[in-house]
Amino acid sequence: MLQFQNGNTTSYQYSNDGVKRKVTHQTAIANVVIPMGSIQPLSSGQIAYTSTTDYCGNVIYEDGILSKILTSEGYITLSGTTSTYHYYFLSPYGYCAGNPIACSDENGEWINFVVGAIVGVATDYAVQVVANVVENGGEITMDAFTNVDRKSIAISAGTGAMGVGIASGISKLTKVAKIAQIEAKSKTTGAIVNTQKDEDNK
């Protein structure tokens, strides 16, 4: 509990996992003086009024009445049946949840995540394009570049950022290489059969 010299107090309640659940504010009547450095609980006669704030996940209650809903973009305030939306301005510290001190990156390791994501995206896209060309008999068309799985590319960006994008890309390249080998053998076999038929016809 915090207490000021004028007697006003603020009390906090936390759950077992350290999450703030409730804040209680007590406002003292006039002429109450608390010595510096001490805490003296107010008697019922010294309290002018009490207000409470309850935190239930992303919902906040003021004196038992729903007053605010937190969202990823900002928050919503409620006044009776009227809802007002409040949006945060974009911050240059958004990458670190608005806390550049606690989330500092002195060694510049963030670049590893960016490079990994780029490698993951580029590798996945290239593999899909090559696979499309192989499946189309080696003919390069615009569909080979546009007929790609965007969800797979997005996943590769995430895995690449985590450092496994290259391994995933190599795996996909190996699969494409096998497809190409099968396609080449199929064409070779077809050519041999056609040549044999031509000789028989002679």
In a domain, 173, yes or no: yes
The total number of structural domains that make up the chain: 2
In a domain, 97, yes or no: no
- pLDDT confidence bin for 163, thresholds 50/70/90: low
Q: Which of 36, 58, 88 is the last residue of a domain?
A: 88
Q: Are residues 114 and 195 in the same domain?
A: yes
> Which of 88-92, 120-124, 156-160, 168-172 holds the top average pLDDT?
120-124
pLDDT at 152: 80
pLDDT at 176: 58
pLDDT at 162: 65
Percentage of the chain lying above the pLDDT 90 cut: 19
Walk across the sheet containing 65-70 and list its strands.
2-3, 9-14, 20-28, 47-56, 59-62, 65-70, 74-79, 82-87
Note the pLDDT tens digit of each residue in 32-74: 888 888 888 889 899 999 999 999 989 999 999 888 998 877 8
pLDDT at 60: 93
The Cα–Cα gap between 165 and 153 comes to 10
Mean pLDDT (whole number) for 173-197:
54
In a domain, 104, yes or no: no
pLDDT at 122: 85
Q: Are residues 188 and 114 in the same domain?
A: yes
Arithmetic mean of pLDDT over the chain: 78
Q: Are residues 16 and 73 in the same domain?
A: yes
Q: 64 is in which domain, residue-wise?
A: 2-88
pLDDT at 118: 85
Q: Which of 38, 53, 88 is the last residue of a domain?
A: 88
Q: With beta carbons less than 8 A apart as the criterion, state whether 117 and 165 touch.
A: yes
Q: Are residues 75 and 115 in the same domain?
A: no
